[in-house]
Amino acid sequence: QEHEKPPAVANGELRVNGKGKKLRKPRTIYSSLQLQALNQRFQQTQYLALPERAELAAQLGLTQTQVKIWFQNKRSKYKKIMKQG
């Protein structure tokens, strides 16, 4: 018997493999222009309101979730650096 596995990611949806582990989406690679804009905005404010996030995501060609998570990660890194020094 041949068993064909369905693709891990189909139509942007995550699939679960046979062992019940969820497969992650591939890591987002941000362009240098996107990073520059995100860092610039982060220097202005560490928190974005929903409309600001939607606008920034549209400008940069990212999803709102990608922008939200980038800001979350950046705040976390920033707090860690501030704690150290």
The residue whose two tokens read 């064909």 is: 4
Structure tokens at 14: 């995550």
Q: Are 7 and 15 in contact (CB under 8 A)?
A: yes
pLDDT of the residue at 56 = 98
Closest CA to 21 of 3, 8, 6: 8
Structure tokens at 64: 């709102």
pLDDT of the residue at 16 = 62
DSSP 62: -
pLDDT of the residue at 21 = 77
For the chain, the structural domain boundaries read 32-84
pLDDT of the residue at 8 = 52
Calpha distance 39→43 (Å, rounded): 6
pLDDT of the residue at 33 = 98
pLDDT of the residue at 23 = 87
- Structure pTM? 0.72
* Residuewise pLDDT in 10s, the chain (85 residues): 555 555 555 555 565 666 677 888 889 999 999 999 999 999 999 999 999 999 999 999 999 999 999 999 999 999 999 999 7
Calpha distance 81→1 (Å, rounded): 55
- The CATH fold assigned to 32-84 is Arc Repressor Mutant, subunit A (1.10.10)
